[in-house]
């Protein structure tokens, strides 16, 4: 059961922002590639997994990059879970924004109305040569653009690449306007995403929902609970 004081915070908030990461999607069967059981540490090759998600790899070994993405990153059949669904409902019924590090498209599938995909979206694929958008299903069949022979790529932020300026400005706006900031499925340790919290105002309340205790350099309320259970119980009151 959710503490009434916590439910009240959601009910009374004027603007809510959810800052989220891989932990939100693990309940949908998508591995957290930075966690113990994630891709990074299961990688048995001689290069760190970050390499396979880098601009260098895409440029120097596009076939290797493609194989890695295709075999490890795509879960087209994954479905949103209650965390995505409740947050999506907040964006539909209330003044709320989701800013996520996830590239798995599950917030879109859940119908999130106000969404910032900070690191892009795997299912937006385009051709590096002619710049046309291509259906991701075509990409999963071939790394080459059927029309022009160019090499396709997902529209995600690779290591060594800059963020989308529009994603940065939308995220900063959402955080700076929020009076309730809810951190879910992320330990907020990876920059630049982690730096978003610095744009909060001093009247904003910060909640973190996580099974294990998190520690931050700013004041916050820790809800030490599985996020699936928490969002299952949380009511989205209009
Ligand atoms: Zn092309």
Please report the pLDDT score of residue 142 as a whole number: 98
Q: Which residues of the chain have pLDDT under 70?
A: 33-46
Contact status, residue 232 vs residue 1, Cβ threshold 8 Å:
no
Catalytic residues: 119
CA of 165 to the centre of ligand 1 (A): 24
CA of 122 to the centre of ligand 1 (A): 18
| pTM of the full structure | 0.94
CA of 29 to the centre of ligand 1 (A): 32
* Residues around ligand 1, an ion, CB closer than 5 A: 127, 129-130, 145, 148, 150
In tens, the pLDDT along 225-237 reads 999 999 999 999 9
75 CB contacts (<8 Å, ≥6 apart)? 28, 29, 30, 104
């Amino acid at each position: 059961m959710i503490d009434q004081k916590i439910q009240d915070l959601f009910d009374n908030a004027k603007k809510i922002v959810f800052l989220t990461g891989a932990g939100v999607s693990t309940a949908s069967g998508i591995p957290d590639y930075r966690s113990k059981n994630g891709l990074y540490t299961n990688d048995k090759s001689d290069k760190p997994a970050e390499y396979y998600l880098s601009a260098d790899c895409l440029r120097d070994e596009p076939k290797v990059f493609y194989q890695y993405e295709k075999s490890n990153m795509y879960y087209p059949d994954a479905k949103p879970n209650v965390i995505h669904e409740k947050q999506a409902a907040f964006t539909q019924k209330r003044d709320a924004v989701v800013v996520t590090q996830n590239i798995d498209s599950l917030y879109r599938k859940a119908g999130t109305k106000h969404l910032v995909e900070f690191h892009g979206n795997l299912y937006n694929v385009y051709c590096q040569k002619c710049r046309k958008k291509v259906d991701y299903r075509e990409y999963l069949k071939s790394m080459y653009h059927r029309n022009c022979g160019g090499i396709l790529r997902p529209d995600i932020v690779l290591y060594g690449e800059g963020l989308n300026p529009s994603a940065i400005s939308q995220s900063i706006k959402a955080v700076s306007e929020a009076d309730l900031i809810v951190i879910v499925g992320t330990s907020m340790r990876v920059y630049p995403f982690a730096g978003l919290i610095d744009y909060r105002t001093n009247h904003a309340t910060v909640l973190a929902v996580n099974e294990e205790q998190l520690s931050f350099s700013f004041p916050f309320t820790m809800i030490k609970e599985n996020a699936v259970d928490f969002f299952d119980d949380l009511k989205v009151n209009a």
